[in-house]
Structure 1
Amino acid sequence: MDRHDILTKRSHTLAAIRNFFYERGYLEMETPVALRFPGQEPYLNPVPVVLTDDTGKTYNFHLRTSPEYAMKKLLGEGFTKIFNLGPCFRDRESFGGTHEPQFTMLEWYSTNMDYRRLMDEVDDLLKVAAEPWGRMFALPSQRFSMHGLFLKQAGIDLDTWQKIPTIEYESRFFDVFLNKIEPTLPPGPAIVYDYPVQLGALARRRVDNPNYVERFELYIDGLEMANAFGELLDVQEQRARFTEDQANRTARGEMPFPFDEEFLQALPRIPEPTSGIALGVDRLIMSLAQTRRIEDVITYPH
């Protein structure tokens, strides 16, 4: 498949994605790219930018790593089904392969939807996205609990890891996951769900087992495509997680970031349950074009 074919099909896929959401009653939202308050994820590095107004005064911003906080503020204003399709940026990423410093992200959120129903909606979207390519994914996606994968592939019961400090936990977890779990994921779409709370990020705890959160990731042919949450809407718990994340950044010699208080104050106004997901569009196109090089599916790589 040549470059012209790939970029043409990419355009058709973006149109199909938008139509998918319009037909389901979603509204497309445009949110800022330059942010005063970047995301709190301890292992992501937002790109700093300085803007200057007409008087010469300068302002410090970061390019968004995700539209997540802005989208949840909109949910707090009463919007119920929204999506965003546009560029995001991350510093200190490889140039080419499976990463690019600028990439296209699709995020969508729905109130009155739990994370299990969101898994089904992901499958529905994959079917539509594949049509311009004349392809069909093997659906429904295969689904695996994180606890079950660790037990089966590594002989580790994650319930026994609960007292490990968070920073050490993350290191041990990803050492096992990347080396023993991820390589064993089956071909085609696979969903890994219910992450330990130490990796909770912005996901709510499971009601029946608070040591795990309502988080899942989508893989296609072993490549991570998307990250989803049953959304955490408790302000105190989210603030505590942010505090721990920034302590983690500081411990690694990174600059901590201030909290977006408007985001935190929006959380109680969002109805339960609400779910949301971020999907890397370039990686999805890679899968459809059957390439492992992100530079093959974008117009002009960096």
Structure 2
Amino acid sequence: MGFSARKLTLSFLLLSLLLLGAGCATSRTSGWEKGSDQVTLSDKDKKELEAKAGVHWAKRYVREDLLKFIDAYETLSKADQNSYKYLVGLCRGYYLLADGHTSEIEEKKLLWEKGLTFGERAMATNPAFKTKVVAEGGKIEAALDTLTKNEVEAIYWSAVNLGKWASASGIAAKLKFKSRIQEMINRVGTLEPTFFYGAVQRYWGAFYAIAPSFAGGDLNKAKENFDKSLEVQKDYLGTYVLYAELYATKKSDRKLFEEKLNYVLKADAHKIQEIAPENLIEQEKARNLLKKMEELF
């Protein structure tokens, strides 16, 4: 056997071991398989708790407020276990808590997994989807076509929670869930191409920037997709942060890195009021990245 053949065989064996390891090291229980405590709330209590949750959500750029929002929505969800509103709110809330307010990777993983659990339950509020994946035991990928624009939030926030959790869990998890995540993002793109201020294009920009070339990485495609995301909405600051953090660093373009992050710092975070909290978080990320510039370049 020649050197190339031996190298190929070894690579195949290593990949096989990783995939075998994925069965135990990256296994998780789907959200609809997990039990949940149930509580009883009066209509008055629900209304008051929803009002409090709304106040805290508006200040979600503060960790303590986001935690209070999550606590309120978890209680509301226990009182109404099939409420899509509460489930998808928790899916997004846990994602933001991990992404914007947590630094320790193991804690982040726990939060992303919690967010995914609620997101899966939110998707399963669609009866046709629930039949396919719960009653018939089918794969999520094969049931995505049953989900509609009504569930687009659940699909997207579940996908990014899963993506972040898998990336933080290692190569085996990334290999195991790559296709599912990408098919979920594609479904969002089909149902609502401009969802969440260019989120689909932003995802692909990040994917092409992060992935090695043998796995589909392509800096030209990364730039193209980040630019498309900005065409959808130029005032969502998270796109500029990812552009700098993922594309400019890999391109070794220090000037572009500074340009994008300084733009974020000078921007009006409140220009789009409904995402002002996210923009404030992104401005803090930009400050931290600029402090690390010497390490990154």
The TM-score with structure 2 as length reference comes to: 0.29
Higher helix share: 2
Question: Relative CO higher for 1 or 2, CA cutoff 8 Å, sep ≥ 6?
Answer: 1
Higher strand share: 1
Larger Rg: 2
